[in-house]
Structure 1
Amino acid sequence: MKLFILRVGCVLLLLLLALSAWLFVTHRNPDLDQPAVPVADVQQQIRQGAYLARIGNCMSCHTARGGAHYAGGRAIPTPFGNIYASNLTPDHETGIGNWNEDDFWRAMHDGRSKDGRLLYPAFPYPNYTHVSRADSDALFAYLQTLPPVSQENRTHELRAPYNNRLLLYAWRALYFRPGTFVADDKQSFAWNRGAYLTQGLGHCAACHSPRTMWGGVTEKAALSGGLIPSLNWYAPALNSGDASLGQWETEDIVAFLQHGVTDTRSVTGPMAEVVANSLQHMKQDDLTSIATYLKSLPATKSVSPSERLRPDEKQAIIASGARLYEHHCASCHQSSGVGVASIYPALAGNGAVTADPAVNPIRLVLHGGFAPSTQGNPRPYGMPPFGQNMTDEEIAAVVTYIRNAWGNQASAVSAHDVNQHRSQEGL
């Protein structure tokens, strides 16, 4: 019986692959026929491309630690294995020196390499497909000015069957629809600019969305928050829940993106790298446009997990956590949980503290963390690690306390929850 089910499953998979391949071949994407945009000022195009590379944070992924900028080799961890970023320098043998604008547009817009191979979506072409042809050409023009670096692209380390690119036909049929950004004529210029940057080069949905078991993001779930695969940090929802950016002032969102800190919040984890390498370099108008767009996203009621403890058990943990908080945390975050403006973030009323799952506060108490160093906040204050001198039970108690003090309301954290993250350090 098991053998029969296995055979039926294999046949269905083959049929799905065949159907996906047929759709891919017969339903050609007409946007690929868009010609290169004539440019009057090449130097201005290159400057624009350099700015767009900052917005897309391209260098961060395409630069290995200690390696040459944009020469690739950095491992992008996924649940299916490691994807290695490619060499984007204009080296003719190992980079993109023998590409043209059309080849680059095909990769950005349709997720295909120069030789026609389907690219793995660790390269976020499901987002980059929204980038305009003019911006794609500008980005390519800038990359062509980089010093060429001869560095072979590393072979991806994916487990079977995910190392078979034929499966990408099925994945694309489920999760990818190529198409450039279309402005909403009912919205303002700033709103449309913010939507274009958020949905396209900013690729915010790549982290701030839940993913299916196959690593896909559905349009309905985009920007609703999710656990970043393999990094085990939670990227909060940008369109829902008590932490909705719709409740923030526009200038606070801009400051948060540009400096990594506001009077009551600070950035840590993977987002700190994004702020340091990308967002702090963006133009004020573009940051304001992103804030305008994010504030407009409709809030939806988040569903909190059911409490696993009896009320008396939870109260006992909270009481224990309160004592630990006064001993370890109150000197910075204050007994009232209000923190110190622009130095130590407030915990009271902080949606990042009460969000479910409670991954981020657990990891910060265990391993500590720093906000990024930016022009507006060059010497950020940090959070020291407490994992070396507090047990799993103690950390669970203090995190449960801050999630339920000063008007906060959230589920309790268990010692098991803490233990899951004890061995996971850094990003």
Structure 2
Amino acid sequence: MTRRLLQAVAALALLLVALAALVWWLNVRGEPDLAAAPLDVPASAEQIARGAYLAKAGNCAACHTSRGGAPYAGGLPIPTPFGTVYGSNLTPDPQHGLGGWSATAFWRAMHHGRSRDGRLLVPAFPYTSFTEITRADSDALFAYLRSLPAVAEPNRPHALRWPYNQQAALAVWRALYFRPGTYQEEPAQTPEWNRGAYLVRGLGHCVACHTTRNAWGASNERLPLSGGLIPMQNWYAPALTAASEASVADWPLADVVALLGTGVSPRGWVSGPMAEVVLRSTQHLSAQDLTAMARYLQTLPQKPAPAPPPRTAPSLEIATLGRQVYDNRCARCHGDTGQGAGGVYPPLAGNRGVTMASTANLIQVVLHGGFAPATAGNPRPFGMPPFVLALSNQEVAAVLTYVRGAWGNNAPGVSELDVNQLRSTTQ
């Protein structure tokens, strides 16, 4: 690289830094510091109860409660591709929590992604979805959090790499990928559909997992709910807009409601990160809200199924090994021909979860087990034990290759490299 080219690169870098600083300054100019905002009037019992329900709908405790810690006291490490983010203390502690906050400051955090003092919040806090909730729901949620026991748990600073830990970088990100806006009802749709859309798009923040992200961590707004690999967890959240993945457009409405409310239905069951969502969140929602969400999910625009990639016949060694592993480890529950067992163990023949293009979930389930959540409607779920210590990478790849090509399934095989990558990177 010549000296002139190096000078040009340095000049461009300085220009980008200056631009980032300008965008940051424009973002924070005139923003009031709400640190000294007056406290609000006491909330009513009805508002607090409403907020408790909304906290379940938003699954707030999942990120703001550390393992073994007090509810909503923060401290949970959340790994991201840009470093580790820590859930903040949402209890009413005056020093570390929301004790000195007002409803207006809380609304600004939810709607605009700004802290009480005007600082920009990292988008691991899904304000890009929460921006759609109403002010009344934000106030109710705040009233509930202020009713919790105060816990003097200091907030841990995020451990993000440079430049992702800079306010200027966050300002540039927001300029590119975020616009605040409250949910606007669709007049052509029913109130039930609009309620479902409000929950799915807003508090439910389903797009956070079920949509692909770019290199900067922003969701693809042109393809919402079209499926994506969950960063750092290595689970694939399947597309809710594709019949070949997780669309429920052709399901009976009652089956969709059952899946959201109990984790199991005649058409399938949830595991992995979605099992936690059902456990902590959707099982606690009313039948009316679950039905509304189901109605909305059934009307999502469907994308055409892509042509399946060709399946290459495995070698005789892999085919034989895969069949042997299946007969010894899997057939007892899933049947000799992959037919499953009476609604207890799912069939593998014709199962779209088996033949999806992404094999991440299959590998995860074989290695680490797969269990539906224990819910009020399904208190003792059946599950699949982990084989991470019992099967080698070759055996896992072979059995999955066999299953994806048996009993009418016609999906490409799984390689040892695929298995090794997930085995070595799963947290």
Q: Same fold (TM over 0.5)?
A: yes
Listed as ranges, the matches of 1:16-35 within 5 Å are 16-18=19-21, 20-21=23-24, 24=27
List gaps (5 residues or longer) in structure 1.
33-37
Decide which moves more: 55-64 or 345-354.
345-354
Which residue is equivalent to 2:81? 79
> Pick from 248, 253, 257: which aligns with 2:251?
248
Aligned equivalents of 2:190, 2:319: Cα separation in 1: 47
Distance 1:210 1:5 in 2: 34
- Distance verdict in 2 for CA 1:19–1:297, change over 3 Å: farther
Question: Do residues 285 (structure 1) and 309 (structure 2) align?
Answer: no
Q: Does 1:299 align with 2:302?
A: yes
Separation in 2, partners of 1:290, 1:318: 43
Q: Is the 8 A contact 2:318 2:398 kept in 1?
A: yes
Query: How far does residue 52 in structure 1 lie from its aligned partner after superposition?
Result: 0.1
Q: Give 2:260's aligned residue.
A: 257
Question: Aligned match of 1:4 in 4, 7, 11?
Answer: 7
Q: Is the 8 A contact 2:255 2:267 kept in 1?
A: no
After TM superposition, the structure 1 = structure 2 runs for residues 54-69 of structure 1, keeping only pairs within 5 Å, are: 54-69=56-71
**How far apart are the structure 2 equivalents of 1:318 and 1:190?**
50
Distance 1:12 1:239 in 2: 41
Q: Structure 1's 174 and 315: CA in aligned 2 closer, same or farther, altered over 3 A?
A: farther
Aligned pair count? Answer: 418
8 Å Cα contact 2:309/2:411 also seen in 1:
no
Once the two structures are TM-superposed, the CA of residue 349 in structure 1 deviates from its matched residue by: 2.5
Over 3 Å counting, the alpha-carbon distance change for 1:256 and 1:143 in structure 2 is same
One-letter amino acid of the structure 1 residue matched with residue 175 of structure 2: A
SS in 1 for 2:167: coil
The AA in structure 2 aligned to 1:330 is: A
Structure 2 unaligned spans of 5+:
35-39
Find the counterpart in structure 1 of residue 90 from structure 2: 88
For residues 168-205 of structure 1, the C-alpha deviation after alignment (integer angstroms, 9 at most, x for no partner) is 01111111110000000001111111100000000000
Q: Confirm whether residue 207 of structure 1 aligns to residue 196 of structure 2.
A: no
Q: Kindly tell me: are residues 413 and 115 of structure 1, through their superposed partners in 2, closer, same or farther at Cα, counting changes over 3 Å?
A: same
1:264·1:342 contact (CA, 8 Å) conserved in 2? no
| Partner Cα distance (1:25, 1:158) in 2 | 21
Alpha-carbon offset, residue 322 of structure 1: 3.0
Q: CA deviation at 1:255?
A: 0.9
| Counterpart for residue 141 of structure 2 | 139
1:6 shift after superposition: 3.5
Alpha-carbon distance in 2 for matches of 1:41, 1:69:
20
- What SS does structure 2 have at the residue aligned with 1:77? strand
In the TM superposition, what is the alpha-carbon distance from 1:337 to its structure 2 partner? Answer: 1.9
Instruction: Encode CA deviations 1:323-368: one digit per residue, 9 max, x unaligned.
Output: 3222211111112323124421222232222222200001111121
CA contact under 8 A between 1:262 and 1:341: conserved in structure 2?
A: no
Q: Is the alpha carbon distance of 1:143 and 1:304 closer, same or farther for their aligned partners in structure 2, counting shifts above 3 Å?
A: farther
| SS of residue paired to 2:222 | helix
Alignment TM-score, normalising by the size of structure 2: 0.91
Indicate how the Cα distance of structure 1 residues 403 and 19 shifts in structure 2: closer, same or farther if over 3 A, else same: farther
Structure 1 residues 412-423: aligned runs within 5 Å: 412-423=413-424
Match of 1:369 in 2: 370
CA contact (8 A) 1:226 1:236 kept: yes
Q: In structure 1, what is the Cα distance between the partners aligned to 2:167 and 2:308?
A: 37
Distance between the aligned counterparts of 2:228 and 2:316, measured in 1? 29
1:246 is paired with a residue of what secondary structure? coil
Partner of 2:353: 352
Determine which of 48, 51, 75 is the counterpart of 1:49.
51
- 1:7 Cα shift? 1.2
Structure 2 residue corresponding to 1:196, chosen from 182, 195, 198? 198
Aligned: 1:326 with 2:327: yes
Question: Percent of aligned pairs with the same residue?
Answer: 53
Preserved CA contact (<8 Å) 1:264 1:340: no
Distance 1:287 1:62 in 2: 24
Distance 1:245 1:5 in 2: 53
CA contact (8 A) 1:175 1:218 kept: no
Q: In structure 1, give the amino acid aligned to 2:368.
A: H
Q: Measured at CA, do residues 340 and 6 of structure 1 come closer, stay the same or move farther in structure 2, by a change above 3 Å? A: farther
**Letter in structure 2 aligned against 1:404:** G
Task: Judge conservation of contact 1:39–1:45 (CA < 8 Å) in 2.
Answer: no
Query: CA contact under 8 A between 2:43 and 2:143: conserved in structure 1?
Result: no
Question: Counterpart in 2 of 1:123?
Answer: 125
